[in-house]
Amino acid sequence: MNMPLSSDRLIFGDELAPRRFADWRLAAKTIVGFWAIYIATIVIRAFLGSDPTTILLNKMLTILVGVVLTTLIYLAIATFATGPAIRRKAVVASAAVVVASLVHAAILVLSEGQQKTSKEEFRIQGRDGVVLIQKEGKVRIERSAADPVVFTMPTVQDMAQRDKLRLAADAAVIWLFFFGAWSAVYLALVSQRQALDLQKRAAAAESAAQVAQVRALRYQVNPHFLFNTLNSLSSLVMTGRPEEAEEMILKLSTFFRSSLSIDPTADVSLAEEIDLQRLYLDIEQVRFPRRLNVEIDVPEGLASARLPALILQPIVENAIKYGLGKTRDKVTLRIAAEEPLPGRLRIEVANFGGTILKTPRKPVPPAGTKVGLANVAQRLSARFGRAAGVEHGPLDGGGYRVALTLPTSRIDG
C-alpha cells in the first residue's frame, strides 16, 4: 500500500521527520522582510540629505553582503539542525550569527576605500563661535579671529592595525544584533509552526479516536439486536406460528435494509430515528400482537432534532425484553420527546402496565449481549461529552423509565 507524502514530511519507519529546507519559504519571507525594513530606513535617511544617490550606492554592498550572510545563516540552521528540537537550532543559529557578523564587519572595513565620497555637508556651530564643516572627507574649522583650518580625515586604510580591529569590532556588534534579531524571529515562527502542527495532529488523532469509538459502539448494537430478534423468531417457530414467523422475517429484512445503510458515525433526525424504532416495534408486535401497546409522542417541532443513529435501539429492546418478560398482561411502551429548556432535548422511553409475576425468572443475558444502557451512555459521551446524560430507574406504579438528555440541534433540510 502506497502512502502519500506531504510536501514537508518524509516517512521513515513509523516516525515523521521534517524534510531539509522544507521551510525555505518562511525563511525567505523573514529575510526579505528584515532587509526591506533596513532598506526603507536607508532610503529615508538618504533623502534627508543633499546627496542621496551616493549614500544609496555606498549601502549597496552592505545590503548585498547582508542578504547573502542571512541566507547562509538559514542554510546552516537547516543543514546542521534538521530535527524538530528548537534548542539545537538556537545553538547553530547563535554560532552562525557570530560568524556572519564578524565576516560582514570585516568586509565593510576592508571595502571602505572603495566607497564614493559623499558631497553632503555637515555644519556644527560651537558655543564659542567655532564652526565645524565636514564635506567630502575634509573638516574645515572656521574661527572669527583666525584663518580657517582645513584637514583631511584619515581613511580606514591609513589607520593602525589595532584601530582597524576596534572599528571592525564595533561594526560586528551592530550586525550581531541585526542577525540575532532575524534568527530570533525565524526560530520563533518555526516553533509556532511546530506547535500548531502538533496541535493539529493531536486534534486529528483525538477526532479519529472518537470516530473509532463511536463506530465500535454503534456496531455493538447490531449483534445485540440480532440476538433478540432471532430469539423472537425461535419462539414463534417453536410455538407453531409459521405465518407470523414469516411476517417477522419480512419486517426484519426491511429493518436491516434501513438500519445497516446508515453510516455508523452519522446523525439522523428524531423523526428518522422514530421511524426505525417503528420498524423494530412492528417486528415485536408480530410476536406479541395482544400484549404490546406502543405510544409515541414526538412534537412536530422536534422532528428535525439531531441525534446519533439507533441510539434508542438498545433502550427499546430492553423495555420490551424485561417489560414483557415479567408479566403476562398487556404492557405499554411509550416514547416521548420534549424540549424542557431551550437548547436541551429530552427523550424518554418507558414501559408500564401489567402485574408482575409472583415467581419471575430472572433473565440471564448470554455473554456478549450486555450492552444496553452502558452502550447508550458511552455513545452519548463520545458524541457530546458532558453535555449529554442518561437517567434511568423504576416507576412508582411498576415499569421502568430511561431518559436521554442532549443538546438540541437540527438536521438541515
Instruction: Print burial letters for 291-316: b (CB count within 10 Å at least 16), e (below 16).
Output: bbebeeebeeebeebbbbbbbbbbbb
Tell me: pLDDT of 235 over 70: yes
Q: pLDDT at position 231, please? A: 78
Q: What is the mean pLDDT of residues 44-61?
A: 86
**pLDDT above 70 coverage of the chain, percent:** 79
Q: pLDDT tens-digit profile of 70-103?
A: 999 999 999 998 778 888 999 999 999 999 999 9
List, in sequence order, every beta strand (DSSP E) within 265-311. 267-269, 292-297, 306-308
Mean pLDDT in the chain?
80
Q: pLDDT at position 296, please? A: 95
Q: pLDDT tens-digit profile of 303-326?
A: 999 998 888 988 888 888 888 877
Query: 56-65, 151-160, 181-190 — which one is most confidently predicted on average?
Result: 181-190
Q: pLDDT at position 36, please? A: 95
Q: pLDDT at position 216, please? A: 59
For the full predicted model, state whether its pTM sits above 0.75: no
Pairing of strands 400-407, 344-352: antiparallel
Q: pLDDT at position 220, please? A: 56
16 vs 404 pLDDT, higher one:
404
Q: pLDDT tens-digit profile of 369-395?
A: 345 788 788 888 878 888 999 999 988
Q: Report the C-alpha gap between 229 and 237 in whole angstroms.
A: 12
Tell me: pLDDT of 13 over 50: no
Query: 165-174, 211-220, 253-262 — which one is most confidently predicted on average?
Result: 165-174
Q: What's the first-to-final CA gap in the chain, in angstroms?
A: 39
User: Which grid coordinates are listed for 249?
Assistant: 422475517
Q: What is the mean pLDDT of residues 291-295?
A: 92
351 vs 202 pLDDT, higher one:
351
Instruction: Print burial letters for 149-171: b (CB count within 10 Å at least 16), e (below 16).
Output: eeeeeeebeeeeeeebeebbeeb
Confidence of residue 33 (pLDDT cuts 50, 70, 90): very high
Helix (H, G, I), strand (E, B) or coil at 152: strand
Q: pLDDT at position 217, please? A: 57
Q: pLDDT at position 153, please? A: 64
84 burial class (0-12, 13-18, 19+ CB within 10 angstroms)?
A: middle
> Is residue 337 within 8 Å of residue 304, measured between CB atoms?
no
Domains of the chain: 18-115+160-203 (no CATH), 241-407 (3.30.565.10)
Q: Report the C-alpha gap between 76 and 87 in whole angstroms.
A: 14
209 vs 269 pLDDT, higher one:
269
Q: What is the mean pLDDT of residues 245-249?
A: 83
Q: pLDDT at position 7, please? A: 39
Q: pLDDT at position 16, please? A: 40
